Amino acid sequence: MQKLEAPFKDLQATNINTFLFFSEIQGRFVVDEDGTVVGKLADLKLRLGELFPTVATLVVKKRREKKLLELDWQEVQSLNTSMIRLNPGACKKFRPLEVNPQEILLRDELLDKQVVDTFGAKIERVNDIHLLIVNRDLRIVHVDYGIRGILRRLGWLKAIDFFTNWLFAYQFEEKMISWKYIQPLPSGPAKQNLKLNVTSRKIHEIHPSDLADIIEELDQISRSTVFRSLDLQTAALTLEEVDPKLQLRLIESAPVELVSDILEEMAPDEATDLLADLPEEKQQKLIRTMEKPSREAVEELLKFKEGTAGSIMTKDFLSVRKDKTIGDAVEEFRKTVYPLESISYIYVTDQDNRLVGVSTLRHLITCEKDATLGKLMNTHLVKVEPEDNVNTVASLFKKYKFMALPVVDKEDVLKGIITIQDIMQSQL
């Protein structure tokens, strides 16, 4: 039996507001009203839902007990950094630990876990957890991602502070993020791998390239957690920026229905590139679940051999018949949702969809709205066929400095376009 010696903070006292760190009480003895050791504090269970959530229960490891037990936080009478004293009769109220979806364990699900800082577009790691006792409640207020959190857990903080103050008149700064900027991401069955989105803005506002960098830094399960939390458009744009090998791992770990929806949001050529690297069975399963327009677009692109113009062309382009007016073309331009690089030019076709000319955005802005495209279009065309080698296409881009090139078949029917971005990616 071990009796208490250090002074305690009495939680029964009124207006007590005290800050402490999780590392200061983790592993400390839990004792009954007589000072007899009951066990050690293994964890704290947090109940989500409030701006600064409260600790619901103590998680205690008793001697000779294999399973962890929990006890309501309100059964704590007082505590210091050595021991936690319980109310009289509290020892009879221990129960087996259970965690529901609206609760998290601080040690198992937050401490040492990676945190996605979407404001800085980087990864941090939680080194300690800052808590506040207020009106007998214990609330989480910050996560510590700095070196002081590590030193505190090692028990070196006071010595290091003394040394750096004496030698350099300096000490390591606190690096903490308020819990109000932390939103738990949806977690899968392996809830212990919960990751957090630390943000003062929404994750879909991050540039897809930055999101791709974040995802590439995470472990496999964390990647899936973050990826599945994105809306379809953000997921599609981010997937296009991710390393091809990682693309496949993300696709293979996600449900078929979700992947199908994401593929429909992607540019057809990007979706085709991704599908082409999948096993035949998986590829066909995904294609069958896609909506008809997207399905037909990728099926046509998949027909072409790798390294040909057809394999890298996109079906996202703007074409208008030659008898239409500039005003008609402007209206088509307004309705399009294609990326800007895909609509640098307006391709002019006849009634059989044969390419007969090209116009530019300048024509749409400067010419009379009643003028027909057939009278304004440039008929001096540079075009390629689907079977042409990508190196040949690259040389044309280099020679003419075009933003895009049309792809036509033997009868000059417009099949797609190749953007400068497409050709640059093919040369990597």
Boundaries of every domain in the chain: 9-99+130-141, 216-303, 318-426
Residue-wise pLDDT tens digits, 197-209 = 554 445 666 778 8
Residues 55, 25 contacting (CB under 8 angstroms): no
Tokens linked to 320: 């208008």
Alpha-carbon gap, residue 293 to 323, rounded angstroms: 26
Tokens linked to 267: 């540019």
Topology given in CATH for the domain delimited by 9-99+130-141: SH3 type barrels. (2.30.30)
Residues 63, 34 contacting (CB under 8 angstroms): no
Phi, psi of 216 (to 5 degrees): -65, -25
Residues 78, 7 contacting (CB under 8 angstroms): no
Query: Would strands 196-198 and 182-184 be described as parallel, antiparallel, or unpaired?
Result: antiparallel
Query: pTM surpassing 0.75?
Result: no
Q: pLDDT value at position 188?
A: 45
Q: 290: helix, coil or strand?
A: coil
Q: pLDDT value at position 203?
A: 61
Residues 198, 124 contacting (CB under 8 angstroms): yes
Beta bridge partners of 244: none
Of all helices (H) and strands (E), which one includes residue 184?
strand 182-184
10-residue block means of pLDDT along the chain (428 residues)? 46 63 92 91 91 92 89 90 89 92 86 68 78 88 87 86 82 80 53 46 68 74 75 87 86 87 87 87 90 88 91 91 93 85 91 94 85 92 95 93 94 94 82
User: Looking at domain 216-303, does it have CATH number 1.25.60.10?
Assistant: yes
Its CATH class, for the domain covering 318-426, is alpha beta
Q: pLDDT value at position 195?
A: 47
Which value, to the nearest 10 degrees, does the dihedral of the CA atoms of residues 249, 252, 256, 261 take? 20
Residue-wise pLDDT tens digits, 84-111 = 999 999 999 999 999 888 888 999 888 8
Residues 114, 195 contacting (CB under 8 angstroms): yes
Q: pLDDT value at position 192?
A: 41
Q: Which residues contact 142 (CB under 8 A, 6 or more apart)?
A: 129, 130, 176, 177, 178, 179
Alpha-carbon gap, residue 341 to 98, rounded angstroms: 53
- Of 223, 320, 326, 212, give the one whose Cα is nearest residue 270: 212
Q: Residue 10: what residue type?
A: D
